[in-house]
Amino acid sequence: MQLRTTEDIIKSFLSEIRIFWQVIFLFSVVIYGGSFYQYLSAKPLPRQLPYFRAFDLISFVLAISLALAIFAYKRKYFSLRPLRKFLEKIRAKHPELNENDLARKVTRDLRGRMKTVWLMGGGLILLGVIFYWLTFTTKNMHVYFIVGLYSLMMNYPRKDLFLDIPYLISEMSVKTEENG
């Protein structure tokens, strides 16, 4: 079935990527919940590791790097200006594309970028869980869970994140018609 408008393409895109977000979210919550349940039921003593400080510092640096990477990635690809530039680049390469084809190309590109952001958020939670299982200390696991969960929740694929795309596409089509 051929979709008729860019709004329909965006709606279809959102319904498809929400499933992936839900899988990442569920997996992250389940691994955290399972680890926390194990901690509450077994009350394991923290392991006395000679390299604990180094491991703690490395996990902290990784967590900060992931959080900053998420922020930078979102700023680089999901604000209005980069979307406009991306659309202009597509239009320059393929001037024959209509509005629906442009919308499909943009959503195809955004799909991969959104998944990357979600995987980084889930990676934060996974990092905390790995730290817990290696050291049996829960402090980092809780902090990384909160930060990772916050990232996943803030990057939920809402319709309002993509409201400008149909407008940008139609604006670009009008400019192309005026220049042509």
What is the Cα Rg of the chain in Å?
21
pLDDT of 2: 54
pLDDT, tens only, 166-178: 888 888 766 666 6
Average pLDDT over residues 114-138: 96
Residue 92, token pair as written in the block: 């320059």
- Residue 160's contacts (CB-CB under 8 Å, 6 or more residues apart) are none
Place of tokens 């994140």: 161
Cα separation, 139 vs 36, whole angstroms: 11
pLDDT, tens only, 72-111: 999 998 888 888 898 889 888 888 888 888 889 989 999 9
Does residue 162 register a pLDDT over 90? no
Q: Is 157 helix (H, G, I), strand (E, B) or coil?
A: coil
CA neighbor of 154 nearest in space, from 74, 83, 82: 74
Cα separation, 150 vs 156, whole angstroms: 10
Q: Is the pTM here over 0.85, yes or no?
A: yes
Q: Where are the alpha helices (DSSP H) in the chain?
A: 6-42, 52-77, 80-93, 99-135, 139-154, 164-179
Instruction: State the pLDDT confidence band at 1, using cuts at 50, 70 and 90.
Output: very low
Does residue 180 register a pLDDT over 70? no
pLDDT, tens only, 31-78: 999 999 999 999 999 998 899 999 999 999 999 999 999 999 999 988
Does residue 3 register a pLDDT over 60? no
pLDDT of 167: 85
pLDDT of 152: 96
Instruction: State the pLDDT confidence band at 134, using cuts at 50, 70 and 90.
Output: very high
Query: pLDDT above 70 covers what percent of the chain?
Result: 94
